[in-house]
Chain A
Amino acid sequence: MGEIFVVVEHRQENLREITMQMLGKADELCRELSHTLTAVLMGGKGVPFLDELVERADRVIVMEDERLRNFNADRYKWILNNLIHEREPHIVMMGHTAWGMDLAPALAVMTGWPVASDCVDILVQDGNLKVIRQIYNGKLFSKVSFRQSKGYLVTMRPGAFPEDKAGDHHGEVERLPVPPDLPETRREFLEFAESETGEVDITQSEFLVSIGRGIGEQENIAEIKELADLMGGQISCSRPVVDKNWLPKYHQVGTSGKTVKPKVYFALGISGAFQHVAGIGGAGTVIAVNKDKKAPIFRVADYVVADDLFKIVTALKERFS
């Protein structure tokens, strides 16, 4: 009987969705492997979501200290390293999030345990732990195994697992003191900052005409704006368009941008990186146009058009003029 650790991710007094997704997957693995599920919570004093965690894990290890209120890789990895060597869990799960990407690789080096990042599944085959990852921007899947070790670190892709699968538990709370020799950090949190807002709020749109890298040139955006106006939709986009400063950030759909829930999401030249797809889970109908018939967006689209977006845009505009 072993133990699975889920490192609790929280922000501004709220549990993050990835935590519930990890608890669901960990619960499933615990049943398969007869392991127990331990949530590891590092946070400020009096976190408001402890009860919620207790219902979803066999045990919640709590370390409260004001220096742990906001994520800090230097301190979190130091505490986790001690805890991992003391308890030797079979699996340690973290989110493949901004914070997880800062923590997990450092923790792997510190513990000497192997790590696999951005996993969309974890499985046990012939008694060995394996993970499924997506590579080449989602165009290929890869099954990965680990060098033999006492335990393994994995970071889980946000959205790869549902949030409502976390099991019913009435776990115990184990409060551990924060070691007095907690190291000084070399990276000090200052504050959170919201990104700029603009004249449109795409989260309220019923119909989004959304563009991606396939738009090719900045000059081509005018044509899509024209089409959106004719059809009565609002324009949104994926990350590459904002990276190039072709549209302001408040048009961006995805994990680092906005989560949208239109009745219709019309995706033009968007390849469908997971960070983008995570932002359209609430869309009613997704129509995707991409000349690359292997574009990952087609795996989530309700209607698939494998053609040149400009040909389709021209034909659509003719219908409206």
Chain B
Amino acid sequence: MNIIVCVKRVPQVQDVDLEIDGSKKDVHKDNLPYFINEGDNYAVEEAVRLKEKPGGTVTAITLGDEDDEEVLRRCLAFGADNAIRVDPGSLVLDSYVISRILSEVIKGLDYDLILTGVQADDLNSGMVGIMVAEHLGIAHSAVVTDIEVLEDGAAIKVELENGLDEKARIGFPALLTIQTGINEPRYVSVMGIRKASRKEIGVKRVEDLNLSQDDLTPATVVEEVFLPPETGGGEILEGGPSAIADQIIEIIKEKGVI
């Protein structure tokens, strides 16, 4: 079984004060730490586990510059067999353009299954995977939390809302977007990643792909970004921890639950 995993390197914004950059269309990202997108990390783990029994290959693909190869080396350290970086140069990207590029690269590969995270934690669109499936004309399902491979496809579980799941059957080739929590991604050490860096990463350039101007025209344009209000009018409790603890206890007592 041959599996393709699409991964993205994203900035980590927890505990960070984001600052809007001069273009007013994004934030300053130079000082942000980057990591593999959380959903994609689960997707790579799932791919590596799924190929274990039947055998086959796992190919990791990312769209980005040389710095982004870090996530591919991570995938190789997980057990992926091949890695491809597609360099977009200075192209303006949105979900549509990214999906066009990825599907053009994937089209030439041999695969049964394509996995990617439900959404990227930077732009939170959750669309690229399913768009890739539609460009390729293959079956798809979003928000998958379990995969059991059968003869010509898989039994899958899809996470719906309110604690409800849907059980479904999907035929291969298929694209599934993977929800966090589907497995426990393995830990890889810096050493492991360094070792994996000896493997070669294939690099493709977008201009060498058979894509038209239309394919590379974004469907959506960010006009501006802005910071939301910090509170919705809630009261800010101040003082040292013990003064704050006193205030919290008073509030909770007032509500009659202690």
- Say how far A311's CB is from chain B's closest CB, in angstroms: 4
- Let me know if B126 and A117 touch, CB within 8 A: yes
User: Which positions 212-251 of chain B face chain A at CB distance < 8 Å?
Assistant: 217-232, 234-237, 241-242, 244-249, 251
Interface centre among A134, A259, A312, by most chain B C-beta atoms within 10 angstroms, is: A312
List of B residues within 8 angstroms of A142 by Cβ = 222, 224-226
- Say how far A241's CB is from chain B's closest CB, in angstroms: 10
- Let me know if A307 and B18 touch, CB within 8 A: no
Selecting from B56-64, B78-86, B155-163, the interface stretch reads B155-163
List of A residues within 8 angstroms of B138 by Cβ = 186
List of A residues within 8 angstroms of B229 by Cβ = 299
The 8 A CB mask of A274-305 against B (1 = contact, 0 = none) is: 00000000001111100111101011111111
B121 within 8 A of A: yes
- Let me know if B123 and A135 touch, CB within 8 A: yes
- Let me know if A256 and B125 touch, CB within 8 A: no
- Let me know if A292 and B134 touch, CB within 8 A: no
Q: A285's contact among B14, B133, B165, B251, by CB below 8 Å, is which?
A: B251
Bound form: Cα–Cα A54–B193 in Å: 59
- Let me know if B221 and A145 touch, CB within 8 A: yes
List of A residues within 8 angstroms of B252 by Cβ = 207, 231, 264, 266, 287
B255 within 8 A of A: yes
Bound form: Cα–Cα A189–B95 in Å: 28
User: Which positions 139-153 of chain A face chain B at CB distance < 8 Å?
Assistant: 139-147, 149
- Say how far A166's CB is from chain B's closest CB, in angstroms: 20
User: Which positions 118-151 of chain B face chain A at CB distance < 8 Å?
Assistant: 118, 121-131, 133-135, 138-143
A239 within 8 A of B: yes
Selecting from B68-76, B104-112, B167-175, the interface stretch reads B167-175
Bound form: Cα–Cα A235–B227 in Å: 32
The 8 A CB mask of A240-274 against B (1 = contact, 0 = none) is: 10111100010000011111001110100001000
- Say how far A248's CB is from chain B's closest CB, in angstroms: 12
- Let me know if A189 and B234 touch, CB within 8 A: no
A41 within 8 A of B: no
- Let me know if B131 and A105 touch, CB within 8 A: yes
- Provided the pairs A147-B218, A287-B251 are in contact, do residues A298 and B234 lie with their beta carbons within 8 angstroms? yes
Bound form: Cα–Cα A5–B249 in Å: 50
- Say how far A173's CB is from chain B's closest CB, in angstroms: 28
- Let me know if A263 and B257 touch, CB within 8 A: yes
User: Which positions 104-118 of chain A face chain B at CB distance < 8 Å?
Assistant: 104-106, 108-110, 114-118
A137 within 8 A of B: yes
List of A residues within 8 angstroms of B139 by Cβ = 74, 186-187
- Let me know if A144 and B221 touch, CB within 8 A: yes
- Say how far B132's CB is from chain A's closest CB, in angstroms: 9
User: Which positions 165-222 of chain A face chain B at CB distance < 8 Å?
Assistant: 186-195, 206-207, 213
Bound form: Cα–Cα A244–B257 in Å: 30
- Say how far B118's CB is from chain A's closest CB, in angstroms: 7
- Say how far A202's CB is from chain B's closest CB, in angstroms: 11
Main secondary structure of the interface of B (DSSP, over half): mixed
Interface centre among B166, B232, B257, by most chain A C-beta atoms within 10 angstroms, is: B257
Interface centre among B129, B229, B252, by most chain A C-beta atoms within 10 angstroms, is: B252
- Let me know if B220 and A147 touch, CB within 8 A: yes
- Let me know if B221 and A98 touch, CB within 8 A: no
List of B residues within 8 angstroms of A105 by Cβ = 95, 99, 126-131, 134
- Let me know if A101 and B142 touch, CB within 8 A: yes
List of A residues within 8 angstroms of B171 by Cβ = 186-187
List of A residues within 8 angstroms of B143 by Cβ = 98, 101-102
**Closest chain A residue, CB of each to CB of B232:** A299
- Let me know if B131 and A108 touch, CB within 8 A: yes
B66 within 8 A of A: no
- Let me know if B165 and A195 touch, CB within 8 A: yes
- Say how far A270's CB is from chain B's closest CB, in angstroms: 12
**Closest chain B residue, CB of each to CB of A249:** B163
Bound form: Cα–Cα A141–B18 in Å: 11
B181 within 8 A of A: yes
Q: A102's contact among B130, B228, B232, B244, by CB below 8 Å, is which?
A: B130
**Closest chain A residue, CB of each to CB of B218:** A147
- Let me know if A195 and B140 touch, CB within 8 A: no
List of A residues within 8 angstroms of B140 by Cβ = 73, 102, 106, 187
- Provided the pairs A114-B220, A239-B181 are in contact, do residues A106 and B228 lie with their beta carbons within 8 angstroms? no
- Say how far A258's CB is from chain B's closest CB, in angstroms: 7
B13 within 8 A of A: yes
Q: A140's contact among B164, B218, B227, B232, by CB below 8 Å, is which?
A: B227
- What are 21 pairs between A and B in contact, CB < 8 Å? A11-B160, A98-B143, A98-B160, A105-B127, A114-B219, A115-B219, A134-B228, A135-B122, A140-B18, A143-B226, A149-B219, A187-B171, A193-B166, A232-B258, A242-B181, A243-B180, A294-B16, A294-B17, A294-B18, A302-B234, A312-B245
Q: 9 closest pairs, A vs B, by CB?
A: A114-B219, A243-B181, A186-B139, A315-B245, A109-B134, A105-B130, A207-B257, A102-B142, A105-B127
5 more contacts with CB within 8 A, not counting A139-B228, A187-B169, are A101-B126, A135-B124, A139-B13, A292-B16, A304-B231
